[in-house]
Structure 1
Amino acid sequence: MLAFKYGFLDRQPVVLALNNWQYIVMVLACCFIAAGGFYINNTAGVGKENNTEISEAKIYNIYIALTLIGVGLGYYIANFVGRPMHSGIFVVGAATLYIYATSLKQTVLVSNIVIALLMALPLIAIGIFTMYPVLNAENKLLLATLLDLMLDYALFIFVIGLLITFINDLSNADTDYNNGITTLPITLGRARTQKIVLVFALLPVGMLLYYGNAYIKELLFALGYGLVFILAPMIYFLIKLWNAKTPKDFQHLEMVLKIVLLFTVLSVAVVTFNIQYNAKG
């Protein structure tokens, strides 16, 4: 969210609905909600009920505190931009994380899709709270272009997020089986799931090739960055996934995908810099 604010949006000829500190409040709202979901999942979620020495009351008090702070900050931001009902996006995010931790985690594929969607949700929040409130006839075309680009990023992040959840399931297959959690590797078997994930991993590679050819083939810095820091690790991921067998192998692959995710987010600043550099001649 910070990369999109300071590396992309602040360099566009448009006045956003949120200033710097208000934007930071929105980021904090997302962080507190995510922290609450992460905490409840790792202390009282499915398969974790008996794995902690902290009392159930204390676990839920901490979770409620984190979530209420996040939702409260989100409501403040929604109210500030004159769209109090839009605070529902924070409520939905918090509720989804809780439901995931306590029940959806046991549902094959649904849990994977939910987590991937939540990874892409902050980009949607950026559009809702920084651009939509200032939309008018004069800036409609520019904001539509910016939103289209952010949706492309959100879609790619969703796909990478889905891959991360699949690799995580492969890595934790034995533990999930012992805890009674039903995931794709447990349902179909690790070998078959691995082949499915390998085929699915071709999708982001194809997306990268398409985006590179359609949008940044004239931007040499951005194209080189994408080839070295995003496409190359994805190809490495495909090669290593073919022979991955142990949990350690899958943990390594999960880290590769997280690195891809990081460089994907940072690429928006590189693309913006390259466009402005070319504009200066």
Structure 2
Amino acid sequence: MNFLNLVRYQNLLMLAFMQLVFRYGFLKFQNIPLALLDWQYNLLVLSTVLIAAGGYVINNVFDQETDLINDPQKVIVGNSISENKAYTIYIILTSVGVAIGFYLSNIISKPSFASIFILIAATLYLYATSLKQIILIGNSVIALLLAFSVIIIGIFDLYPVTVGANKQQMAVLFSILLDYAIFTFVINLLREIIKDFEDFDGDYNQGIHTFPIFFGKEKGIKIVFIFSFLPLITLLYYINYYLLNLLFVTLYLLLFVCGPLTFFILKLWNTKSKKDFHFLSLLLKLILFFGIVSVIVLNYNIKYNA
């Protein structure tokens, strides 16, 4: 159990779930060829999960002092798992993940794509060692990497089999993946900032210049409150412009994404305690989950209308 907590298994399950949903709940139902066989695609999921797990491990290594203040009961590195062992776990997870990525890149005859996995692993290491200490940069990097886990589906499963005859259809599907990637980025960016509010005390004592430390809690909440309207307004516009004729997915998004997002905004205004910020962080994770599941509803709604 200590190992599972070390690699943040809940977040890894969400990552794997997201990639599996886009493949088996959406792309598989389109009348298109896919570059990867099922077992090869599962290797792609495994690769991203392993690299992400390595990122969590190395982040825990460098976050020991901060975590002792923020949540001492959940500190693993230095307690149940030694720092040397954690480094070994990090190296194994990251190396295997990158190796799988190298193999898959050669499978689709795009060996240069292996650099994507190396770049992701290197970025996670840089985040743990330095980037997270730079206001908004660290938050944006983590949000961007999660969003890229959606885009990488198109890179490995759509792009290699895109030809003149299906180019337009593939472009539409890739644009849908891109829309979900943008949604994932914005919601996760919000969540990363909210987590900074939750970890305010530990970050302050370690001299880390996070968003709430730089702006102050009260002013920071007001800025995040205003920013939170952006995904809500954008999503409502998207529904009105693209999805209004699809009743099921429209109702789903209004009830399970826009509704909780509105509640998040209202709740945020009066949030002050660590417990409240933790609740908002979980709420955003739930919004992200429902947002991902909407691609299944979208798929069946399109077929139903057809």
TM-score by length of 2: 0.89
In structure 2, C-alpha distance between the alignment counterparts of 1:31 and 1:63, rounded to whole Å: 12
User: Do structure 1's residue 18 and structure 2's residue 36 form an aligned pair?
Assistant: yes
Query: Is the alpha carbon distance of 1:234 and 1:270 closer, same or farther for their aligned partners in structure 2, counting shifts above 3 Å?
Result: same
Does residue 1:78 correspond to 2:80, yes or no?
A: no
Amino acid at match of 1:144: A
Secondary structure of the equivalent of 1:139?
A: helix
Provide the residue aligned with 2:172 in structure 1: 145
CA 46–110 in structure 1, closer or farther in 2 if over 3 Å, else same? farther
Which of 104, 128, 131 aligns to 2:155? It is 128
Within a 5 Å distance, the mapping from 1:233-248 to structure 2 comes to: 233-248=260-275
Q: How far is the alpha carbon of 1:227 from its aligned partner?
A: 0.6
**1:168-183 pair list within 5 angstroms:** 168-183=195-210
Structure 2 Cα separation of the partners of residues 47 and 216 of structure 1: 48
> 1: distance between equivalents of 2:27 and 2:246?
19
Q: Give the deviation of 1:179 after TM superposition.
A: 2.3
Are residue 7 (structure 1) and residue 32 (structure 2) matched? no
1:52 aligned partner:
78
Q: 1:15 is aligned with what amino acid? A: P
How many pairs align?
Answer: 279
Alignment of 1:183-262 (within 5 A): 183-262=210-289
In the alignment, the residues of structure 2 paired with residue 48 and residue 91 of structure 1 have an alpha-carbon distance, to the nearest angstrom, of 28
Q: C-alpha offsets along residues 158-204 of structure 1, whole Å, 9 cap, x if unaligned? A: 11011001100111111111222210111110111111100110010
CA distance in 2, matches of 1:192, 1:56: 38
Report the Cα distance in structure 2 between the residues aligned to 1:48 and 1:164, rounded to whole angstroms. Answer: 19
With normalisation by structure 1, the TM-score equals 0.96
Q: 1:56 to 1:2 in 2, by over 3 A?
A: same
Structure 1: unaligned runs, 5 residues or longer = none
Read off the aligned partner of 2:27 and give its amino acid letter: L
Q: CA RMSD in A?
A: 1.4
- Match of residue 114 from structure 2: 87
Report the 3-state secondary structure (helix = DSSP H, G, I; strand = E; otherwise coil) of the residue aligned with 1:18: coil
Kindly indicate whether the alpha-carbon contact (under 8 Å) linking 1:29 and 1:70 is maintained by their aligned counterparts in 2: yes
Shift of residue 47 of structure 1? 4.1
Alignment-mate amino acid for residue 262 of structure 2: I
Give the letter for the 1:207 counterpart: T
